[in-house]
Every structure is written in structure tokens, then in C-alpha cells.
Structure 1
Amino acid sequence: MKTKIVVLTEAGVSAESGIATFRDSNGLWENHSVEAVASPAGWKRNSALVLEFYNQRRRQLKMVEPNAAHIYLAKLEEKYVVTIITQNVDNLHERAGSSHIIHLHGSLTEVKSEKNDALIYPWTKDVKLGDLAEDGAQLRPNIVWFGEMVPKIEDAVREAKQADVFIVIGTSLQVYPAASLMEYAPIGCPVYVIDPHLELNDISENVHIIHDNATNGVLQLPL
């Protein structure tokens, strides 16, 4: 039976492809507050602003390519069973060739009905006011906003519990519930955390920190 590798990725992986990390150091996203563009209240207050914010993100996505870390993870499937759990909303893992991806926070290349979470559609162009789902409701980005449930967290936990090797790349481990996923890895499962700045206190002996960026760090994995 092939070794099962579970990988948790976040903004640090996409940043090396030229995608700005969503929240800047000043707490703003492209000069907008989180509440304005990533909350149900913001959507209710100004849907047009929210749509244009994500339209810009979607356009930017077409201008970047998967980097060496994305490609490395995709190639792992030649030897292992690999699940990518990502907090990123881009499609760079898909474009690199990974085949089993759980998007915890949704996807820029999908939209859904604002009234029915089950009505999800692939989408690559701009979304405008008046673009409707089949139930007649306005289409909104299929993004998990602050204050909303993370619908795929149970899927992610189930994968984590089955890991033979657990890898964390490009995350500060500050965003929950995703940050807790490594705790679900089986006892004794080796955990590798790749991040140039991360410092973890009281880590167990099976947790190994690689202080490097994503594209260099993956080359140091003992796989």
C-alpha cells in the first residue's frame, strides 16, 4: 500500500507565484477592511464592491503560474497517495497537476447562489450584479467569509487522521480551524512544517521545522 501524504498549504505557497497574501501587515486587503469584502455583513452592505474585489483577484489569477512548490507536490502523486488541503482560494494546485485538493476557504473559480450553498458553478469571468443562479438569487463568490462555517473541515480532518506523513507549507498556523489539522495526524506520524519565520514552542519530537520558503523547503523533505 502506498504511503499517504497529507499537505496543508496557505498563502506562503501562492506568494511565490506572485499572488499577494490576502491580508497585508496593516490588516487591510487591497486597501479594504476585512469586514467590507469578506463578511456576510459587507456583502449585504455593498455587493457591488465585494464582486469587484473578487473580480480583480480572479483577473490576477490568470496572470500567474504555478511555482516549483506546486509542481513538486503534484509530482509526489507518482510515488504516493497525496491529498492537498489548502486555505488558498486560487487554482494553482490544480494547474500544477494535483488531483485531490480540498479547498477549505472556497475557490475564486467558483460562484454560488447567495441563498443556496449547494448551487455552485465553475466561473472564470467577472461576476456582475444581475448574474443569477438557477434559483433566481444573485451569484456570489464561493469563498468562505469571516463568520461563516468552513464546510469542508470535516473532510480535511478525516484526511489528516489517515496521514502517514503530514506536511505544512507557507502558513503561520494562526488561522483556525485549519491550524489545528496537524493535531489530528496519527501518533508518531512525522510532521514537516516549512516556513521561513515560524517558531513553535513545546513541539513533539515528530515535528520537524524547515526554516525556508516553499520552493526551497520542499526540496529538503526526506521523501
Structure 2
Amino acid sequence: MKKIVFLLFPLGLTAQVGIGTANPQATLHVAGNSSTIRIESLNAVNSPAFNDGIKPAHAFVTASGDVTLNPSSENEIGPGGIIAPINFLFTDNNFIPNGVANRGLIVNNPTASTTATGLISKVNFSAAATALIEVKYSISVLLSSTDLNVSLTPFNDISARIYKIYFCIDINNDGLDATELSKKYGLNAQNYSSDNQGILGYTYTNGHGYTTIPSGNHSLHFFAETIDGVSKFTSAGFGGAEDLLRIRIYN
């Protein structure tokens, strides 16, 4: 014969519940070094817009005390709240080809001109919703007075060179139009000057830029520009030794 036991508690009783502990220290205390709490409404199946199932998703607490992945606005109807989750899209430690003898992607500035610009990398990425994107990069640069595709030669012409690095954002990844090409993000530049005897070696440039993007598939286009004097030749290799790209998105 089965026995049914009824537990009666007086109304208004305040108690602490412990899971894995006989001495709870909070209203709900889950003990154990590996203990977890599962809320299936917040998993990748039920909340795919904020939980991709690969990286941990940020959790937020509404004014009512509800735990959610959707950052609430002032009236608790999200998304678009004051605080937004950060999604680290990826980190790439080699987003520019190393090239021959680790000289990188080469941009030559011939003697007939004083400026030269070249595309050194293109990186595709996606955004699930309208969001703020943040891009950080670090690129090594090697300068030579002869074409780096052929040889590596120090400067000895007592002259100065400038190189710039920046990126443009191709919305919808359908090719850069005039407006997109005119917006240069993360622009950084360095100056190199030589005496009658130059030296060879890598320099490093770091840049950072951010903007708001719509949902969809997009791409970053990294450009390098060199500036030198009249009748001067400059060969610059970008990303041969080291290069790092980090993209994160706030949505």
C-alpha cells in the first residue's frame, strides 16, 4: 500500500532552499563546484538571436527580476536597451598573407608618383541585427628602397616616407561604392626617415575604429597608402611578420 505524505507549511513562512547543501546561505542556494542552473527558454534553440550555441551568451535581469538574454529598454521591451551584449565575432592572428620571405602584402610607390594605395586584406563578417561594431588591428610593416618582390634594400637617400593604414566597411558585401570608400575607419600613420645609411626592420602599427551597421553580411577592406618625395621609390610590405585582427559586435 502506497503512503502519501502531505507537508504543510504555515502561510508567510520565509525559508531558504538548498540544493546540494543542508545549510543554504540564500533564498536559493545551489552548492557544488560544478553545479549549474539550466533555463531552457534561453538556450540556442529558443533564443537563437542572442545565443548562437557556440560562445556563452550574456544574461540580463529585468525590473521584474526575470533573467533574459534580451537587453531591456526603459519599458522592458527589447532589444535596444541601454546595455547590450558583446559578441566576439572572431580573432585572426594572420589575416594578411605573409608573402615571400615574410615580407607581407606589398604596395609599391614608383618614382613617377608620390602616393600609392593598395588593398591588403578583405575580411567577411555577419551581424544578426543592427549593432555597433568595433575593430582593432595590429600590422607589421617593412620598408625598402627596392621592390620587395625582388630584393630588400635599406634607404640611403636622406628622405622621409609616410605610410597609412585604414579600413572601409562594405555594407551587404556587394562591393565598395563611392560613399563607403570615402569613409576611412581606424586610420593610423607612421613616418620613416633615413640618413645616409638606413636600416632594415619591421615597424608596427595599431588601429581602432567603430561604427553602427545593419543586419546582414558585410566585409572589411583594409588599405595601405604610402607617401614619398618626387622621384623617390618606396616598397612597403604589410603583415609579413605579425598581424592581428579582432572584431567584436555590440547588439
TM-score range, shorter chain: under 0.3
TM-score (norm 1): 0.24
TM-score (norm 2): 0.23
Q: Highest Rg: 1 or 2?
A: 2
More strand by share: 2
Relative contact order (C-alpha < 8 Å, sep 6+): which is higher?
Answer: 2
